[in-house]
Amino acid sequence: MANLMKTAQTKAKAAAVRRLPPRWGGWLLAVPPMLFTLLFFLAPLVLLMIYSFGKIDILTFEIKFGWNLGNWAALGNGVYLSGLIRSLVLTLVSTVLCAVIGFPTALAISRASGRIQTVLLLAIIVPYWISFVVRNYAWLTLLGPRGLVTRLLTAVHLTGPGQDLRYTTGAILVGMVSSYLPLMILPIFVAMERIDPAVLDAAADLGLTALATVRRVILPLSMPGFIAGILLVGIPATGEYTIPSILGGGKTLMVGNIIHDQFLGVGDIPVGSAIATALMGLMLVLLLATRRRVRQLEDVL
Amino acid sequence: MSSVRKRHSFSTAVLAAVLVLFYAPILVVAVNALNQDDTLNSWGGGTLRWFRQILADGRVRGDFGTSALIAAATTILSVAIALTTVLAARRLPHGGRTAFNMITYARLMLPEVVTAVGLFLLFRRFGIEMGLVPVIIGHTLFCSAYATVVVQARYAAVSGRFSEAAADLGAGPWRTFRRVTLPLLAPALVVAGLLSFTFSFDDVVSSVFLSGSSVETLPMLMMGMIRQRVTPEVNAIAVAVMTITFVVVALVVAATNVRAAGGVRSSRDGATDDE
């Protein structure tokens, strides 16, 4: 009886321990991160939206608030619109290239065994940790008039001798693909790893060739990885600032550079706010469109 | 059988090409950092001159210190936010937990330019001078989100069973946390911290918007140097920065495993999730 009492007591105590935190502990712990995100994440975004309807006084540089749609109308302006479109096209092309290159790469890694697979994974992960500036700067050397890539392309008569491949849209594309590729390869690899080996055995038993297995079994089952990869590559790429600054030489402007110039250059902060708000809206649409798939991100990040 | 081999050789060839794409540029930078020929047009023999030059350069040293200071502060703040977020989320009702998750992912999913200009407007509006503190806040904003995801994954895998066992054995909530939860979370906290440190150390966008005129980080200095000319000094700085990264990755791998370094969770880890 005493024993039973004791068990009951322990159980009650355990239950109390488990129930106590939800009452106040959770809210207490939640205060610092909540304050931080309210103050430095949500408030700035609201401010950004408010500023996008503001107007800058040309003489005093003071910003007046109101319901000016002028900044939003300016988005239709040639410079801004072409920058926005260029960003979207470059993002689209580099995301597709990443997916096309990333799938066979992930496949090759998933087929490697044991120690080799570990080494290969590490080889893909290390660049992802290396500084963006360093990685893209590295391409400058290779794409210069006397760079290795230029010399190779000249040797096969794709370019004239001494041609400068830097500061072109192509250079930006090379930088974007090589910078973001690990973020496509890793989620696809994770998705492939989740495929039940029994499914592959079944495919083989049913007489599917290796190629057909890849196309009809592995590819569809890797879709969650593709979607995570597309979000991980596409979203930061759209707002990219560093890569076009280095490899575009300021000539090929993307939306990130335009926002930079509006805020820190001689530009117009309300117009910059409108562009940034538009970018934010675009991302929200993309996220909502894929919201059911976003859960996958929790698994690969 | 031949098609199997063909398919294998195709994907292996792509993998090899990808590795060349990743490492050839880095290798060229490393070689050029040792190149005596300062026009970098050809190999002029080996030298450590450029490293000596950057070590003697006060601006490089100063910016290195600034970047390290910002990264250290960002790391502490990010890990603290990640830990409180994860511990709080588990104790909140379902709605609160979902809200927390959404805010974490929103911070990851918005392009950094957007959050950086938002902060720029906030500080400008309230007359706070740009500089160290705004940059640290800007970095913490996205680093803490990465840190949260890393810690959350580990917490989901280890919470429940062990803390329940501790509670059954009569440990109070604080004791359970100190003696059970925290040690189990330690590897994830290390990874989250190292990730925050590297991402902060390498950041350009938030630093550019929030540093004002008085503060300059190492990546900002490099961006400026690159814009003028490709110089051997830049290569030497790049090699120094990469060396730090390699050390960090090695630490992460030592603390956990390769998958954690890439944020890759294997299916086996996933299976132990209690949600």
What is this model's ipTM? 0.83
Q: What is the pLDDT at residue A23?
A: 53
Enter the DSSP assignment of B130: P
User: Are B204 and A140 within 8 A, CB to CB?
Assistant: no
Confidence band for A8, pLDDT divided at 50, 70 and 90: low
Check if A288 contacts B (Cβ < 8 Å): no
Closest by Cα among B238, B239, B195 to B78: B195
Give the residue from A9, A36, A95 with the most B CB atoms within 10 Å of its CB, the best one to mutate. A36
Confidence band for A17, pLDDT divided at 50, 70 and 90: very low
Query: Pick from A40, A44, A148: which is nearest to B28 by CB?
Result: A148
Whole domain around residue B254: which residue ranges?
58-271
In a domain, B52, yes or no: no
Residue range A236-274, pLDDT digits in tens: 899 899 999 999 876 667 889 989 988 988 778 888 999
Q: Which residues contact A86 (CB under 8 A, 6 or more apart)?
A: A169, A252, A253, A254, A255
Q: What is the pLDDT at residue B1?
A: 43
- Which residue is closest to B42 within chain A, CA to CA? A146
**Kind plus residue range of the DSSP H or E element containing A56:** strand A55-56
- Which residue is closest to B123 within chain A, CA to CA? A44
Q: What is the pLDDT at residue A72?
A: 86
- Which residue is closest to A274 within chain B, CA to CA? B114
A290 has pLDDT over 70: yes
Question: Is A70-300 a domain of CATH 2.60.40.1180?
Answer: no
The two counts, helices (H) then strands (E), for chain B are: 14, 0
In a domain, B206, yes or no: yes
Structure tokens at B150: 């890393």
Of A12-16, A56-60, A99-103, A118-122, the range with the lowest mean pLDDT is A12-16
User: Are B242 and A130 within 8 A, CB to CB?
Assistant: yes
User: Are B230 and A141 within 8 A, CB to CB?
Assistant: yes
In a domain, B23, yes or no: no
Contact B151, B192 (CB under 8 A): yes
Check if A278 contacts B (Cβ < 8 Å): no
Contact B67, B217 (CB under 8 A): yes
Per the model's pLDDT, the better-predicted residue between A163 and A226 turns out to be A226
φ, ψ of residue A55 in degrees (nearest 5): -140, 140
Mean pLDDT on A101-120: 92
Q: What is the pLDDT at residue A1?
A: 45
Structural domains counted in chain B = 1
The shortest C-alpha distance from A46 to chain B (Å) reads 8
A19 has pLDDT over 50: no
Portion 196-215 of B in contact with A at CB < 8 A: 198, 201-202, 204-205, 208-209
Structure tokens at B48: 């450590």
Q: What is the pLDDT at residue B180?
A: 81
Across chain A, mean pLDDT equals 83
Contact A286, B105 (CB under 8 A): no
Check if B119 contacts A (Cβ < 8 Å): yes
Closest by Cα among A260, A42, A98, A90 to B204: A260
Q: What is the pLDDT at residue B261?
A: 61
What residue segments make up the domains of chain A, in order of their start?
A: 2-51, 70-300
Contact B104, B145 (CB under 8 A): yes
In a domain, B27, yes or no: no
- Which residue is closest to B135 within chain A, CA to CA? A40
Q: Which CATH number characterizes residue B118's domain?
A: 1.10.3720.10
Check if A49 contacts B (Cβ < 8 Å): no
The separation between CA A193 and the C-alpha centre of its own chain, rounded to angstroms, equals: 22
Contact A115, B6 (CB under 8 A): no
In a domain, B12, yes or no: no
Per DSSP, the three-state class of A198 is helix
Mark the ranges of chain B whose per-residue pLDDT is less than 50: 1-4, 265-275
A231 has pLDDT over 50: yes
